[in-house]
Amino acid sequence: MMANDHSGAIPANPTDFVGNENVLRIFKQEERNGQRLALKGRIYTLIPIAILLLFVTPIPDVFYFHGLITVFGVLGVLGYFWQRHPAFKGWHQRIFATADFALLTSILVIPNPLATLDYPPQLTYHLNNSIYLYVVLMGLAFSYRPATVIFGGIAGAVCWGLGLVWMLSLPDTLSILNVDEAKLIADPFMYLSNIKFIDLGVRLQEVVVFLVCAGLVATIVMRSRRLVYRQAMAEQDRHFVREALGKYVPASVANAIINDRGALEPQRQTATMLFADIEGFTGMVERMDPADVLAMLNAYFSKVGKVIVEEGGVINQFQGDAVLATFNLPIEDPDHAGAAIRAAQKIRSAAEQHEFAGHKLDCRVGIATGEVVAGSVGSGQQLAYTVHGDAVNLAARLEQMNKETDTRILISESTIAASTAEFDSRLIGEIPIRGRANAKVYTI
């Protein structure tokens, strides 16, 4: 099975993943997690600032800042809960981002109306308060939307620029726009040290640098999106493989195969083999339409496979109408012998109680326990999980011997001895088995 190629272009917004609900779900979850972190960060930042202001800002000045801090907190909470509302759209984040930058710019540019100390608004630029804009910009990175970060950068630059325009419009503001250039060149330090002087070049530089940083943050967000996208697609592939394997092996085995990248390492250990075959299958199919044969086999294998997986076994292979299953490989099961016997009983019960595509079937089962070697074999491009050992051959021969002993399930002595559970087993006797010495066999 080849993995999908996830190196192509990644949609700009999660909603662009049309038809891929799993990836869309993961992106939405990441956005919600990011919004939650952004809200926590905002609250954890505003609370200590509010406490600090109590000690460094006189009353009633502090009430103004506490009110604005409250507005910042409310905007964050509204944005967080609105994102979870069914009517939420991605561009709604841009409205909240614009509101944040507009509010922050107003705080930094417009003097505190409750201030007991009268200070000129131009002082804002001498204190280099534009650095606070970057805090809001970094918060937008949690949106996982590069377009939102870019828009926020532009909104922040525009808000800061409008604040600059308002400041330049004040009649007492000094700048290159209303100061004679010759005087400025003659004594630049006099103007630069003047609180009401605004260095227009430096202010425009702040806007440009802020936009550049917005582009860099957006790039980082895009790289994060690519990582989330690849993880989402990889998880989707793992889920698909796990579901496909889960039809034949237990979930623990499917996970082991995935973790070993599809190639289970060879292992030698004691395991129990179960070999099941349909009685009279050859004569039956000669009288049936091929399509009916496949429908019957699919129904039969579906029932048998479910039973084997429920008991912790692994379907090693289908051979025509026969099934070879292993217990204790590749995942260990202390009661592998008992699990195989229970699976055989359930298979026999299913055959007696059900019809398969309209046909009644009878089956024979052989079970043997012994040391085997198992692992992945193949060309590298196509692998098969196979098992080899005397127990495999014995299980197949016991299945065939049911015809001679007029039984439906034959179990080797080693399996009965290895089982930790008690079964109502009956000794058939010591039976000569082709290719080996006489062996005690049981039935249930």
Contact of 307 with 345, CB cutoff 8 Å: no
User: For residue 258, what pLDDT band results from cuts at 50, 70 and 90?
Assistant: low
> Does 238 lie in the same domain as 130?
yes
Indicate whether 380 pLDDT > 70: no
Same domain as 101, residue 239: yes
Task: Let me know whether 34 and 177 are in one domain.
Answer: yes
Which of the residue ranges 32-36, 47-51, 364-368, 418-422 would you say has the lowest mean pLDDT? 32-36
Query: Is 5 domain-assigned?
Result: no
Average pLDDT over residues 12-41: 68
Residues 324 and 223 in one domain: no
380 or 369, higher pLDDT: 369
CATH number of the domain at 385, please. Answer: 3.30.70.1230
Residue 256 within any structural domain of the chain: no
Worst-scoring range by mean pLDDT, 45-59, 85-99, 113-127, 290-304?
113-127
Residue 146, token pair as written in the block = 């590069």
Does residue 130 lie in a domain region?
yes
Looking at the structure, do residues 174 and 323 belong to the same domain, yes or no? no
Q: What percent of the chain has pLDDT over 90?
A: 30
| Residues 299 and 344 grouped into a single domain | yes
Name the band, by pLDDT with cuts 50, 70 and 90, for residue 442: very high
Claim to verify: residue 164 and residue 270 sit in the same structural domain:
no
Claim to verify: residue 267 and residue 219 sit in the same structural domain: no
Q: Note down the domain range covering 134.
A: 14-243
Instruction: Output the pLDDT for position 182.
Output: 75
* Residue 373 predicted with pLDDT over 50: yes
Residue with structure tokens 């016997």?
A: 341
Lowest mean pLDDT among 28-32, 53-57, 167-171, 410-414: 28-32
Among 136-150, 239-253, 300-314, which is the least confidently predicted range?
239-253
Report residue 8's pLDDT band, with 50, 70 and 90 as the boundaries: very low
Residue type, 128: N
Stretch 159-168: mean pLDDT, rounded?
Answer: 91
How many structural domains does the chain have?
2
Last residue of a domain, one of 211, 243, 275: 243
Are 287 and 173 within one domain? no
* CA separation for the pair 191, 189 (Å, rounded): 5
Give 399-439 pLDDT, tens digit per residue. Answer: 999 998 999 999 999 999 999 888 888 998 887 776 666 78
Residue 14: pLDDT over 60: no
Residues of the chain above pLDDT 70, percent? 84
- 15-29, 37-51, 123-137, 183-197: least confidently modelled range: 15-29
Residue 258 lies in a domain: no
What mean pLDDT is reported for the chain?
A: 83
Question: What secondary structure, in 3-state letters, does the chain show?
Answer: CCCCCCCCCCCCCHHHCCCCHHHHHHHHHHHHHHHHHHHHHHHHHHHHHHHHHHHHCCCCHHHHHHHHHHHHHHHHHHHHHHHCCCCCCCCHHHHHHHHHHHHHHHHHHCCCCCCCCCCCCCHHHHCCCCHHHHHHHHHHHHHCCHHHHHHHHHHHHHHHHHHHHHHHHCCCCECCCCCCHHHHHHCHHHHHCCCCECCHHHHHHHHHHHHHHHHHHHHHHHHHHHHHHHHHHHHHHHHHHHHHHHCCCCHHHHHHHHHCCCCCCCEEEEEEEEEEEECCHHHHHCCCCHHHHHHHHHHHHHHHHHHHHHCCCEEEEEECCEEEEEECCCCCCCCHHHHHHHHHHHHHHHHHHCCECCECCCEEEEEEEEEEEEEEEECCCCEEEEEECHHHHHHHHHHHHHHHHCCCEEEEHHHHHHCCCCCCCEEEEEECCCCCCCEEEEEC
Residues 274 and 207 in one domain: no
Measure the CA angle with vertex 331, ends 345 and 233; round to 5°.
Answer: 115
pLDDT tens digits, 205-233: 999 999 999 999 999 988 888 887 777 77
